[in-house]
Amino acid sequence: MPTPFSFPWEADAGDGTYRNPILHADYSDPDVIRHGDDFYLTASSFNCTPGLPILHSRDLVNWTIINHAIKNVPHPRYREVQPGCGVWAPSIRFHAGKFWIFFPMPDEGIYLTTAKDPAGQWSEPHLVQEARGWIDPCPFWDDDGQAYLVHAYSKSRAGIRDKLHVRPMAPDGSRILGEGRIVIDAPHHPCLEGPKVHKLNGWYYLLAPGGGVPTGWQVALRSRDIYGPYEEKIVLEQGSTKINGPHQGALIDLPNGDWWFLHFQDAGPFGRITHLQPVKWQDDWPLMGVDYDKNGVGEPVATSRKPAVAAASPVAVPQTSDEFDAPKLGLQWQWHANHEDSWCSLIARPGYLRLFPQPAPAEGDLGRAPNLLMQKFPARQFTVETALDFPPGRAGKTAGLIVVGGGTHASLALAHASEGTQLLFQINGETYFKTAAPAGEVRLRIAVDETAKCTFCFASPNGQFTTLEKTFQAREGGWIGAKVGLFAMDAGSGGAQTGHADFSYFRFLQEKPAEA
């Protein structure tokens, strides 16, 4: 009988309320729109592929992954892992009968992809504007048919920051039409970025995070003209709560007139996790969360009533555990860089994920291998298990379970060697445990605690688990949380890669629910 597995984190309390975070996973820089009674979310994906995840909800609390907008990052250099590069903060909109996602690649430019159905086929990314250091674009189509693109700057590429730029854009999103102007220059809000544009009651609103990712705040700016001048107000801050850096996200209206704000919180190795705040309008300013100390600035809520939507939604979370019983990879999986479909198969051995070993990185750093098949950390505390069948093969092949983040990695793997198949536990390539591999299918497990300390275990199919004494401290990477997943590698010299590794499941096991 399979080991029971469950959702590592559930936000819906089942009594008409929810707890934050609504997504306890690294959906960084989230943006959300409502289309009818449906909500769609996308997020940064950096160098991981497929990219630009598309999540769906009917109540802003319960979410599932329904698609990705891009298969690979649209530049050949992403065949190799590019930490901190690739797809940064996107914006999703519905306009003229289709869905639009504008996304930045800070070294390459601003791109656009569109779709009639967010769960269907998205267009090949179109380069709207080649540029270095333009980030976080948001489109806006005004009542008179004019279109604009608002964006921020990355200091590491453009040499400037804390500025928001409005540029005229072709209404079909194909190109920028002119220089426009910098409308916000706000060094008192350091790292001002991530702008989102709205128009309401004759006001143009720019919503933007300031103060930096770990410790910043949410700024609202408004003007009667798209080009300003703008007045400003801080509308959300950490205050007396434990929610650091509450900012950058989406302002969403409901059919009944209620408003909500969805934003992220930097949780270190657990990534940028997503929170939901009620919004009230006062004097034409959107006030977010609850004003605990009555200073006129909102603070994040830990729990709240659920949004009042048309119909109740069942409890749901983004997909995690996988029995590998479908003909293609689940949407929860991402490769560590641009990928090839030939790297895996789910039909060669039904009920198993078959990974075909790919060449190991020349520098020996497993964490830089593009063919790592990974998932986000899904909770503040969890245990994950897989079972691996790795038929004997040429020396140099390895396959197993891995955690990667921040230039560090740890793996528990089977390795083919001249003396037979070995079980190896390695941290950054250094071996801390080695023994002859158990016969048959081997179960591998990682337990992650609330500090992101990882403890590795192994067992044969019917045996007791052996816990390894050495632990591994997971770390966040470049703008991205730590990830956990599977790999198959070939460090052998010469010739085509051969052999395979079969994984029969990947399960998050039942645990006592952890608090955020």
SS3 315: coil
Q: Within 10 Å of residue 395's Cβ, how many Cβ atoms?
A: 13
User: Six-digit token pair at 233?
Assistant: 């107000």
SS3 376: strand
Using CB atoms within 10 Å of the CB of residue 501, give its burial: 0 to 12 exposed, 13 to 18 middle, 19+ buried: buried
User: Six-digit token pair at 442?
Assistant: 């081997």
Maximum separation of any 2 CA atoms in the chain, in Å: 75
193 included as an active-site residue: yes
User: What CA dihedral angle connects 294, 295, 299 and 304, to 10 degrees?
Assistant: 30
Q: Within 10 Å of residue 463's Cβ, how many Cβ atoms?
A: 11
CA distance 479 to 445: 27
29 included as an active-site residue: yes
Q: Where are the beta strands (DSSP E) in 267-369?
A: 272-282, 285-288, 303-305, 334-335, 344-345, 353-355, 358-359
Strand partners, 64: 56
Q: Which of 208, 214, 154, 157 is nearest to 186 (CA)?
A: 208
Residues listed for the chain: 516
- In angstroms, the first-to-last Cα distance of the chain is 31
Strand partners, 225: none
Q: Which residue type is seen at 332?
A: Q
CA distance 276 to 32: 11
CA distance 411 to 272: 24
Kindly give the residue spans of alpha helices, DSSP state H, lying in 194-252: none
- Of the residues 12, 26, 136, 193, only one is catalytic, namely 193
Residues 6 or more apart whose Cβ sits within 8 Å of residue 257: none
Cα distances from 176 to residues 99, 113, 202, 457, 480, in angstroms, run: 19, 15, 25, 54, 30
Contact 43, 31 (CB under 8 A): yes
- Of the residues 26, 29, 136, 490, only one is catalytic, namely 29
Q: What is the DSSP string of 64-118?
A: EEEEEEESS-SSGGGGS--TT-SB---EEEEETTEEEEEEEETTTEEEEEEESST
User: Six-digit token pair at 429?
Assistant: 């390539």
Q: Which of 296, 377, 389, 391 is nearest to 332 (CA)?
A: 377
User: Six-digit token pair at 63?
Assistant: 């979410």
Q: Which residue type is seen at 145?
A: G
Catalytic sites, residue numbers:
29, 193
